Amino acid sequence: MKRKIVFLTGAGISQESGIPTFRDSIDGLWENNKVEDVATVSGVFSDINRSETFFNSLKQKISECSPNAAHIAIADLAKDSENFEVIVLTQNVDDLHRRSGTPVEKTIELHGNIFRNRCRSHPDISGTDFKEARGCSYTGAHYDENWKFPQACPRCHKPATFSPDVVLFGEALDFSALSDAEYHASTADLFIQIGTSMEVFPVAALIESVPISKRAYIDIEKPEKNGIYEYEFIGKAAEITPKVCNMIKEQKL
């Protein structure tokens, strides 16, 4: 019988790839911008030039980062599809799970993907699968220096609607992505949370569908509450995750 291993990842898994976590960034600014100016719907659309500069600069920086040993260990475990069904639920928008080789159909990007664009006049049909983006979504190039923000949608032609497919503050998550994630969390044999403060809802609530006996935790900081994880691994994701994946392969976890 295949074991179903579900990973829920946050900004901490990409920290060793050189991408600051939300906590690292929040004490000040994102690329010299206030968070509310570049991460909320009203902020993003109130100053198109600022948003274009911000998103292009962020995309360029992220495109220069590579998946680290944690992303790669998860992708390797997913390759053993005879013994494991590996599902990655990620809050990250950095595309590093896909680039490390985790199959796109096994990855749910709950907060979107900065390298993909979405028509905001059709919020209900944002693609969650990088290759098979639906509706007005578009499978964009990794980093396109000629990319302009925001463009007219190539499908419905509404001007200024085609913008990065990231969930901004004030926007709802893709409903089908969230319900798929809930299904996978509730049917996991092992649910491993990596590098997330679990402060962003509704994703943080996913763990409620997992019995404590099936929960594992990887983070540089101890969990805030005691007794809510069966297994706790404190340390850097890129060091711990490969060890944890080996333990899973050796049936020690």
Residues annotated as part of the active site: 111
Q: Which of 91, 102, 128, 137 is the binder for ligand NAD (CB under 6 A)? A: 91
Say if CB 123 and CB 172 are below 8 A apart: yes
For ligand NAD, how many residues bind (rule: CB under 6 A)? Answer: 25
User: Taking the complex as a whole, how short is the minimal distance between the CB of residue 157 and ligand NAD, in angstroms?
Assistant: 30
Footprint of ligand NAD on 184-243 (CB under 6 A): 195-197, 199-200, 219-221, 236-237
Min. distance of Cβ 154 from ligand NAD in angstroms? 25
12 touches ligand NAD by CB under 6 A: yes
Name the residue with tokens 């990973």: 7
Of the pair 11, 136, the CB lying nearest ligand NAD is at 11
- Shortest distance, CB of residue 92 to ligand NAD, whole angstroms? 3
* String of contacts with ligand NAD for each residue 104-133, x by CB under 6 A: -------x----------------------
Residue selected from 6, 8, 14, 128 as contacting ligand NAD according to rule CB under 6 A: 14
Residue with tokens 């000040």: 28
According to the binding rule CB under 6 A, does residue 174 interact with ligand NAD?
Answer: no
Output the smallest distance, CB 12 to ligand NAD, in A: 2
Nearer to ligand NAD, 71 or 153 (CB): 71
Per CB under 6 A, residues contacting ligand NAD are 10-12, 14-16, 19, 21-23, 91-94, 111, 195-197, 199-200, 219-221, 236-237
